[in-house]
Structure 1
Amino acid sequence: MKLEMMRIDVHAHLWSEDYLRLLESYGREDTATQRGLGAGDSPAELDARFAMNDAAGIDHQVLSVSPQSPYFPAEQEALAAARLANDHYAGVVRDHPERFSAFATLPLPHLDASLGEMARALDDLRMAGVGVTTSVLGRSLGDPFFWPLFEELNLRAACLSIHPAGRDAGSPLIARNRMRWMVGAPMEDTICAMHLILEGVPNRFPRVRIVHSHLGGALPMLLPRADEHVRWEAPDVDMMPTHAARFMYYDTVAHGHAPALRAAADSYGVDRLVLGTDFPYQTGAALRRAVVSIEETLTPEAAEEVLTAGEELLPAGNSSRRFRPSRS
């Protein structure tokens, strides 16, 4: 199969037991949620994953460790965990280059260390881009504190994959009512995308290929409302949210919900959507549904465009075809 026709899943996970144990040794208490799901690196797990991908018509996955990101107050711990994760991913990709690419993780919030690890991951390990979460130890990704990171990504025209942090969007109402992932995660997507827009990040750093998870959460439903409200809530914004949203990209993880996919396609444009599955949280029939729902909801031409859009994330991708810095 030619590269330009590959169906590439940009939202997939794989965690090694060594990495999860290291996070636990530094104080993470939620790594059990990543175990026992078939998302490890054992031969049996990989064979099962490849069989499911083949059945679903997925040729290639771009891996990320989110939400188990190596974010710790101690720089030494954050850097050790990030390097372990990136070296592990580099090995997995080297062993299965036809099946996997990977997003590098960074030792945030430590900017100098993160910039150094980004250079190592992209230049030496040849990773497909960088993966971060919607917030870092409680600080929004839209905070100008992170602009040095965006500046370097902009210079590289690199891809930045953004995944919910799993921190309840900072809301006790979510945390105390068993809604961390069913409601909290898409709220984190929504808040992060809007904060980036309000801080002018898509316009300030137009070459960064920002990819949000889960269709951007509730963003498709909120853009016209946001356009009206910025006039008095954020009058300094230099670009209307409806327009700024089209400077970014959104994966199609929607659990087969056709109305959500149609809303995103209508709000952003089909050319802003890329295939995502959230493997291993969608496997088997649900993994197949992640592809079929796109084929059944969009026109054949639009569906194929979305399903093959992630090719630009590959090191050998055709940079002229997707993720263009100029938008209409």
Structure 2
Amino acid sequence: MKLESGVAMRTIGLEEHFVTPELVGYGASSASIIQPEKWREASRRLLDLTGERLAEMDAAGLDTQVLSLNAPGIQAESDAATAVARAAAVNDLLASVVADHPGRFAGFAALPLQDPQAAAKELERAVSQLGLCGALVNAHTQGRYLDDPALRVVWERAEGLDVPLYLHPANGVGTPHVIEGHPELVGPMWSWGTETATHFLRLVFGGVLDDFPRAKVLLGHMGEGLPYMLWRLDSRWDYHHHHGVELALGRPSEYVRRNLYITTSGVCSAPPLLCALLALGADHILFGTDHPFEDMAAATAFLRTAPVSEADRAKIAHLNAERLLGL
């Protein structure tokens, strides 16, 4: 990505989706949310791993995409053994794409969370043997979220490997009553953001981040609204009935500032970026485009022109990703 000074700055995108022909069926729930012609185009581009995608990256000045399987991915599979086999296969494919294009791609593993022990083993294999740089989790897995005690083994492995888990949205188990009759509110425009922010708060209040204080969690879409809410979360927690929940750090915002990293994916707007900078600090913000659902060139243009210091721009563009993902 060229800056006004004419110097190229490495740019790494962390929310960059793909799908394989074998796994297309898992994405059917997303098809109902998106306008048919837009879904057809997105589906075509999800299947294109290195052709048009690399040309588009070059045109946009995006050096590296950290690839992840499109939502809900493997987590839509009801049979645990099938999930285990398919996760391993797609992670092998991802590792081969990364190996074939040095510097252009990295990858987040897909995990078969239907089988917690197998998911922890697959995360270990994906990072230690395949060279992937963490995992991406699409909301619930057959109704189970990442604060489920059975999934502590996955957090233990992620913390031990020092890799992040990226919490990504997908359709919920059911439709909240307040949304009933308003299907236009289901999906990335509204419900996915509130549900994904809630998923992170379940990790806080479910004790996951007390059990694993060095866990690193990524949220896209400028933090799914959480940077805006920190003062109120603390104020109301001080006031609220705790229902037997105690936080080792005392207040919810402490976990957001310690354990949460956010990406700019799908939000090309200066006001929320400036809020996030003030709330979380520049070391906790990374770049993403949300390809193919948003425009890559619009995202890199936003990063290039955002009203932030050059030091912070470099952190967001590549330095934080290099550190967090070991790139």
TM-score normalized by the length of structure 2? 0.84
Query: Is residue 159–residue 212 contact of structure 2 (8 Å, CA) maintained in 1?
Result: yes
Displacement of 1:129:
1.1
307, 311, 314: which one pairs with 2:317? 307
**1:251 aligned partner:** 263
Matched, 1:10 2:14: yes
State the distance in 2 between where 1:175 and 1:100 align. 40
> 1:198 is matched by which residue type in structure 2?
F
Match of 1:322 in 2: none
Aligned partners of 1:66 and 1:131 also within 8 Å: no
RMSD: 2.5
**One-letter code aligned to 2:208:** V
Pairing partner for 1:280 from 285, 292, 296: 292
Asked if structure 2 preserves the Cα contact closer than 8 Å seen for 1:70 and 1:78, the reply is yes
Name the amino acid aligned to 2:29: D
Matching residue within 145, 156, 160 for 1:155: 160
The amino acid that maps onto 1:59 is: D
Opposite residue 302 of structure 1, the aligned amino acid is: D
Specify the code of the residue in structure 2 equivalent to 1:68.
P
CA 229–314 in structure 1, closer or farther in 2 if over 3 Å, else same: closer
Determine the structure 2 residue equivalent to 1:187.
194
Distance 1:269 1:286 in 2: 24
Partners of 2:101 and 2:208 lie apart in 1 by 35
Unpaired segments ≥5 residues, structure 1:
318-328
Q: Which amino acid aligns with 2:125?
A: R
Structure 2 residue aligned with 1:30: 29
CA-CA distance at 1:224 after TM superposition? 1.0
- Structure 2 distance, partners of 1:36, 1:61, is 20
Deviations 1:203-257 (A, max 9, x none): 4313322111112212122211111222323351222122211121011125312
Equivalenced residues, count: 305
Question: Residue 78 of structure 2 aligns to a residue in which SS?
Answer: coil
TM-score, with length taken from structure 1: 0.84
TM-fit CA distance, 1:41 = 4.7
CA 175–290 in structure 1, closer or farther in 2 if over 3 Å, else same: farther
Q: Which of 81, 85, 95 is the matching residue for 2:86?
A: 81
User: Hey, what does 2:4 align to over in structure 1?
Assistant: none
In structure 1, what is the Cα distance between the partners aligned to 2:282 and 2:324?
18
Q: Name structure 2 gaps, 5 residues minimum.
A: 2-8
Residues 284 and 161 of structure 1: is their aligned pair in 2 closer, same or farther, counting only changes over 3 Å? Answer: closer
Per the alignment, in what secondary structure is the counterpart of residue 233 of structure 1?
coil
Where does residue 233 of structure 1 map in the other structure?
A: 241
Measured in 2, the distance between the counterparts of 1:65 and 1:135 equals: 15
